[in-house]
Structure 1
């Protein structure tokens, strides 16, 4: 059992310290920037934060916390907070993991070895955190992956292809807009414009809206996607479809513009839909009933459209590019340190079914005791309250301190979140996501 920290615990979280933090910025040999905040009365736990996706051309700054609120609370409670920018933007997994480990090494060089290091991150940073747990887990006492791409890289790009393929096939028949092997951003954005225009035009008719819902269902885009709007009623398929249409515009952008960046890293196309059964995929979708209802209302044959998808020319992958994304980054399901993942149920960018994919991989690898998963009932990507994130981090800290997981059920996590963030409304719930549409992992 790991040695307990020499600090007082109050319901699991460290008692606040009174000291002001010190702030350090610098640059790693790779060119990545790093940032470190270390309280004078440090509790000897360091939190290594991995930030989310930064597209090419966007400022790439070092980050050591997901929000100002979490940063302030954790510094007040004695944690050291560190993180890097990663040396590159885009699908930068090749650079991100070594840059994060170099940041931890630099922290040790400057401040000495911590009693514990915990990895945590959001979105692509959640994926990086899971990669750290699998590949460098012995350096960490625990890990927290929030709203991460837990399906892994190959599965992500495969399933991102599916709705874009459906949009082109059903809403822009005859289009030759390229979906893969995108040589540059101009080509990618040309396809984005053409398919986005087709989606917008489709919203004008019941038939177009039904086909848009089918495309969304292949990616499991949920009915509730915006935390600023109320959750649609279970049978309010019109509102659900409107939300999915708006999210699908973003999916088309990610599935083409961001894909082009990923293909540049991979040296080719890492995705395929050869042999994919879209009828079976719809049958497993979390929003299948909505699609069936909207097709019936529109007087369309769902079977005919599925047959159109089945007979449309398919796309093949470049094996070398697949190999690159296997390495950067596809999961084995074998974390080497305790890992907690959290996800919102209404995440359109990284649908919650990604968590099912990782749980299956962990189960096949026989490491279920190391994994816990929790879910928040809310629309949006990474739309957690500060309290929800802090409660999850507290659970990881408890596991690191004691060797045993605390109660990670919704009642316990909501109670902790209310204690840590009393002014917000917290929404952990009991939930099991549907299967991921296109799982791909290295579990064995």
Structure 2
């Protein structure tokens, strides 16, 4: 493999595919560039509301705008011995940049210590925190919900549930369709089991993808099979096919350019599949999802796998990978997937999950920010959510912008601030400003190199020049609307 990561940090990076920051300003877009002249640190409040810890920062020269942030998924098996980071934005540097500009920041850690699948309680936890803020700090002139990775689900849903309290939404690297996402993760794990294993774990027991009796053994079997497959042409061809099921990128390492070699690209896809889909979102994660939702909320694909491959946009790469593998047969592998029995969702659990899915009906403007190379929460979710908004709401209220970069949530502070400025302008004027890459990059450059840092849980902090780009992702593989 061209790049390896420790299990704990990589799974965190992959699952955190559900966080997103949002930024808001007081009056005009220029206000986002105003840095406070006071040296006084913001006032910090911490406490607990109905079992959910909260954290709040209010600068001395508060501009009247509150940013209510929702974090993504923190798996308990990796945080058992470590404190859960209680962030107020997508990265710590963004927190400082926002409070320096007068924004108040608040975030519930959510019930259960912020661990695992927090979506079922998250909107209620944030609503109660907003109540607390209004009673103890003051009523904001404007409130924006922000969220990273799975936190995007909460940020948008909150704006739909309490439209009179939320003025705008900004998400980063979001997997907005939580129902379709969990269905697709099941498809990916099912294809890994069918194409790369004999159906059993190391102990000879069946690999169980839902209701697992030994989730760790099943998870390990999937991850080990992917690791071994990446070493052979036949295995890499099947990895490319599996990755096509969720439009999974091969740009895994943010410190490297986008791979232009097919083998390197597939090796990157393998890393996403191992750490995000097997370790992060595989059988061990489903134990928590099923406990909180009352059963298995996901179904596997029941349709033409060949048609799905064509719709993915990855057909050329998959065919090239199979052409390079003399002992792999694409038609036979598609037939093997078609022959596998369909896994049915538990209806009540599925209905429970649907209750937490954003429906595209919020009257607040929504801006999403995403890297083009995100394989953990592919940007195709943004396009399909846009289709949903156009179907049931006002498409003019929704926009997506993209940054040409690999990995998950790897947006710079400058890019986040520029996105916030654009959202504020939409709220101030009722019209979106120019969201052209040229305009956005120029605005980010004006903030200066001190704001070019990104934080990646694996590689740490690194600097990246602004990289907004024109990008049209494929539609999500299995949108649930």
The alignment's TM-score, normalised by the length of structure 2, stands at: 0.86
Q: What is the number of equivalent residue pairs in this alignment?
A: 430
Q: Which has the higher contact order (CA 8 A, sep 6+)?
A: 2
The 2-side partners of 1:191 and 1:241 are apart by: 23
**What do residues 42-94 of structure 1 show as CA deviations (whole Å, max 9, x unaligned)?**
11111111111122252335332222221122111111111111112211112
Cα contact 2:25–2:32 (8 A) shared by 1: no
Cα contact 1:44–1:80 (8 A) shared by 2: yes
**Matched residue of 1:65: which SS?**
coil
**What do residues 154-208 of structure 1 show as CA deviations (whole Å, max 9, x unaligned)?**
101100011111111011134320011125xxx2111111122222222232111
**Matched residue of 1:28: which SS?**
strand
Question: Cα distance, 1:270 vs. partner?
Answer: 0.8
The 2-side partners of 1:324 and 1:195 are apart by: 28
The 2-side partners of 1:86 and 1:147 are apart by: 20
Cα contact 1:333–1:365 (8 A) shared by 2: yes
Tell me the equivalent position of 1:97: 123
Q: Greater CA deviation, 275-284 or 414-423?
A: 414-423
Tell me the equivalent position of 2:49: 29
The 1-side partners of 2:283 and 2:307 are apart by: 25
The 1-side partners of 2:179 and 2:101 are apart by: 39
The 2-side partners of 1:431 and 1:260 are apart by: 36
The 1-side partners of 2:264 and 2:47 are apart by: 48
Question: Cα distance, 1:274 vs. partner?
Answer: 5.0
* Structure 1, unpaired ranges of 5+: none
| The one of 338, 341, 356 aligned to 1:310 | 338
Tell me the equivalent position of 1:178: 208
Question: Cα distance, 1:138 vs. partner?
Answer: 2.1
**What do residues 250-300 of structure 1 show as CA deviations (whole Å, max 9, x unaligned)?**
111112222221111111111112523221111111322111101011123
Q: Root-mean-square deviation (CA), in Å?
A: 1.8
The reply to whether residue 291 of structure 1 matches residue 321 of structure 2 is no
Tell me the equivalent position of 1:429: 469
Question: Cα distance, 1:33 vs. partner?
Answer: 1.3
Cα contact 1:136–1:336 (8 A) shared by 2: no
Tell me the equivalent position of 2:106: 82
Tell me the equivalent position of 2:229: 202
* Structure 2, unpaired ranges of 5+: 1-23, 201-205, 453-464
Cα contact 1:46–1:117 (8 A) shared by 2: yes
**What do residues 230-269 of structure 1 show as CA deviations (whole Å, max 9, x unaligned)?**
2112xx2111011111111011111222222111111111
| The one of 224, 228, 236 aligned to 2:255 | 228
Tell me the equivalent position of 1:50: 70
Tell me the equivalent position of 1:63: 87
Q: Greater CA deviation, 272-281 or 101-110?
A: 272-281
The 1-side partners of 2:387 and 2:26 are apart by: 37
The reply to whether residue 362 of structure 1 matches residue 389 of structure 2 is yes
Tell me the equivalent position of 1:126: 152
Question: Cα distance, 1:421 vs. partner?
Answer: 4.1
**What do residues 331-371 of structure 1 show as CA deviations (whole Å, max 9, x unaligned)?**
21212211101111111111111111211110111310110
Tell me the equivalent position of 1:383: 410
Question: Cα distance, 1:436 vs. partner?
Answer: 0.7
Question: Cα distance, 1:226 vs. partner?
Answer: 1.6
The 1-side partners of 2:428 and 2:349 are apart by: 41
The 2-side partners of 1:391 and 1:352 are apart by: 19
Question: Cα distance, 1:14 vs. partner?
Answer: 4.7
Q: Greater CA deviation, 197-206 or 187-196?
A: 197-206
The 2-side partners of 1:310 and 1:265 are apart by: 31
Alpha carbons of structure 1 residues 72 and 307: separation in structure 2 relative to 1, 3 Å? same
| The one of 295, 298, 304 aligned to 1:268 | 295
Following TM superposition, where does structure 1 have runs of at least 4 consecutive aligned residues deviating by more than 3 angstroms?
4-7, 9-12, 59-62
Question: Cα distance, 1:6 vs. partner?
Answer: 7.2
Cα contact 1:138–1:337 (8 A) shared by 2: no
The 1-side partners of 2:402 and 2:33 are apart by: 24
| The one of 5, 9, 13 aligned to 2:32 | 13
The reply to whether residue 141 of structure 1 matches residue 161 of structure 2 is no
The reply to whether residue 72 of structure 1 matches residue 102 of structure 2 is no
The 2-side partners of 1:271 and 1:10 are apart by: 42
Alpha carbons of structure 1 residues 260 and 277: separation in structure 2 relative to 1, 3 Å? farther
**Matched residue of 1:137: which SS?**
coil
The alignment's TM-score, normalised by the length of structure 1, stands at: 0.92
Tell me the equivalent position of 2:245: 218
Question: Cα distance, 1:34 vs. partner?
Answer: 1.2
The reply to whether residue 189 of structure 1 matches residue 208 of structure 2 is no
Alpha carbons of structure 1 residues 75 and 204: separation in structure 2 relative to 1, 3 Å? closer
Alpha carbons of structure 1 residues 306 and 83: separation in structure 2 relative to 1, 3 Å? same
Cα contact 2:246–2:477 (8 A) shared by 1: yes
The 2-side partners of 1:11 and 1:108 are apart by: 26
The 2-side partners of 1:135 and 1:295 are apart by: 47
The 1-side partners of 2:220 and 2:45 are apart by: 40
Cα contact 1:86–1:92 (8 A) shared by 2: yes
Question: Cα distance, 1:11 vs. partner?
Answer: 3.7
